[in-house]
Amino acid sequence: MFKTLRNDLPAGLVVFLVALPLCLGISLASGAPFFSGLISGIVGGVVIGFLSNSRLSVSGPAAGLAALVLGAITSIGDYSLFLCAVLIAGLTQIGMSVARLGGIANYFPSSVIKGMLTSIGILIIAKQIPHAAGYDRDEKGNLTELFPFGNEDWHELLLPFQHIDVGVFLVCLISLAIMIVWEKPFIKNRVKFVPGALIAVIAAIVINEIFKATNSPLAIVPDHLVQIKQAGSFQEFLGFFTLPNFNGFLESKVVITGIMIAIIASLETLLSIEAVDNLDPERHVTNTNRELFAQGVGNAVSGLIGGLPITSVIVRSSANVHAGAKSKLSAIFHGLLLAVTVVAIPGLLNLIPLSALAAILLLTGYKLCKLSVFKQMIANGKYQYIPFFVTVAVIIGIDLLGLYKPFKGEGLLIGVVAGLITAFGAILHGNLKNSYYFNRSKHHEGDVVRIHLAEEVSFLNKASIRETLDELPENATVVIDASTTQYIDFDVLEIIKEFRDIKAPLKNIKLTLNGFKEAYKIHNDENVVSVH
């Protein structure tokens, strides 16, 4: 690993520059202390970097968990209890690793996963608009603060414009513009190792310092800046870490939150790992069970010292790959740089306007829920877009619009479950509409009809097969062909026998059975009717 220092140290520096503003921004989006995001960045780099089997993935606080964390902190009401949920999530992931559940992501339909990520993007955007406008009356950044919902006077809808802090909003717009321009090929290809988010943060600090130096009314007040505690001694610095309240192990809400974090964090990590392995020039394949163990230890440590939940993050990981990293040392080095920053320059971090971080998150949210995602899902067909839209609608309805307040903050879990149920329903529907469905309008009395059974015929096909046989016209010649079928459910066999012995003779139907296994105890006819 140390043979690759000349590649890994520069790559680690690049990842650090990408991760620093994201750690602060995700803390903001999560409604958590800024110090907690930096803690999880350090743990993700050093602890998980050391334990992970992935050469190039980088872990830290993830935007994909921000909405869940924000809802959980709000619902639980005590940050130390929430930390117990993070600890539970870590222990759950370790248990998943021992149970060899590294392939769990393969059992979640992509439509539901994309619906979850799209919803997260929408929630992030909605929660950051108040910070971007400078009207964040509470640290949660609720969009409804800007709007007088329920007021009958329509002119009151103009009130949001009265709430905007021009200086804060201007810094947000400039930050957004810098990041958008920075991603254009003519800049990105020339300065590929300098992240646009970092340039936007630096520009925001400089602009605000100019405002303050010139006594401009646009100067941003401390309430709209990052606020990280500064220690006067090592003992005081240790006091900044928050221990979990272990009573959370006895509270069902905390335990359920921990399990939710474990499932969603594991899905995000496994999807990210798959993407990173595809980006890896040497095509190294990560052991997913080992990765779950590393993530579990990382989350347990993060929860024990006051950090946010951690996942493998594709933004940091792809930056690591493109910067030329060769081993895990780059991820570890980036974590050490974050630790040095927390200790050495917290005062500089406190100059960062929240609206610059909001701009980073607005762009991150947009990438998760941009219009092309919706177009792609619609193009993939109804069995993809229906579970997708159900997942999005339920999550947004609960966590953003508050349509069912008892479940406020639990929209992600309920939305994913609703999406899974819908996807399962789509499978059942597709199972019932297979190739042996009989369309009466196309067959008439005296016709020869072939019913070719599928490879697997389960009890789910009972209703369809019964309907097909009952709809057959009188005096028809019917062939039921099971020559390519591997399995037929007992109930379906009983329906076929009933049709052979009772219903077919009553309707004067000439029936030919072909290809049934001896174990089914159905006699195959020697002369099979041909269908022209």
Looking at the DSSP bridge assignments, the partners of residue 60 are 311
Question: Residue 23 in contact with residue 41, Cβ under 8 Å?
Answer: yes
Token pair of 370, please? Answer: 């941009």
- Contact partners, residue 337, CB within 8 Å, separation at least 6: 12, 13, 16
pLDDT score of 67: 82
pLDDT score of 249: 94
Place of tokens 């990765």: 291
Among 121, 308, 136, which residue's Cα sits nearest to residue 226?
136
Digit-coded pLDDT (tens) for 148-188: 444 444 444 444 455 688 899 999 999 999 999 988 888 87
Digit-coded pLDDT (tens) for 291-319: 999 999 999 999 999 999 999 988 888 88
* Amino acid in position 215: N
Going from the C-alpha of 308 to that of each of 31, 90, 302, the distances in angstroms are 11, 11, 6
Token pair of 532, please? Answer: 């022209």
Those residues of the chain that have pLDDT short of 50 are: 138-160, 435, 437, 439-441, 529-532
Looking at the DSSP bridge assignments, the partners of residue 479 are 450, 512
Among 20, 3, 142, 2, which residue's Cα sits nearest to residue 71?
142
Model pTM? 0.75
Going by their DSSP bridges, the two strands 59-60 and 311-312 should be labelled as antiparallel
pLDDT score of 65: 87
Which 8-state DSSP code applies to residue 370? -
Question: Buried b / exposed e across 238-276, counting CB within 10 Å, b at 16+?
Answer: eebebebbeebeebebbbebbebbbbbbbbbbbbbbbbb
Question: Residue 467 in contact with residue 500, Cβ under 8 Å?
Answer: no
Residues recorded for the chain: 532
Domains of the chain: 2-368 (no CATH), 440-520 (3.30.750.24)
